[in-house]
Amino acid sequence: MDCKTFSATICADINVQLQFLFNTNAENLEERSEQAFDSGRISKEVTHALVAW
């Protein structure tokens, strides 16, 4: 996978995660992120990066 494709994949993954998180009434961001990862919606790396953010 070249750099451009990799970057596009990461950006798409982050966009999906942000939409999933902010389009809900979740009170616990970390819990919601873990649910998204567990359901296969996002990668583990993005989950942890967003929780840290």
> For 1-53, what is each residue's pLDDT tens digit?
577 777 777 777 777 777 776 665 556 666 766 776 676 666 677 766 766 66
Question: Does residue 47 lie within any of the structural domains?
Answer: yes
**What pLDDT does residue 19 have?**
74
Asked if 16 and 41 count as a contact pair (C-beta separation under 8 A), the reply is: yes
Question: Does residue 42 lie within any of the structural domains?
Answer: yes
Query: C-alpha distances in angstroms, 45 versus 13, 17, 23, 25, 52?
Result: 10, 11, 21, 23, 11
Question: Does residue 43 lie within any of the structural domains?
Answer: yes
* Identity at 3, one-letter amino acid code: C
Question: Does residue 24 lie within any of the structural domains?
Answer: no
Please choose, from the candidates 52, 48, 41, 49, the residue with its C-alpha nearest in 3D space to the C-alpha of residue 19.
41
**What pLDDT does residue 14 have?**
79
pTM reported for the whole predicted model = 0.35
Question: Does residue 20 lie within any of the structural domains?
Answer: no
Please choose, from the candidates 34, 5, 6, 36, the residue with its C-alpha nearest in 3D space to the C-alpha of residue 19.
36
**Domain assignment of residue 43, given as a range:** 29-53
User: Domains in the chain: how many in total?
Assistant: 1
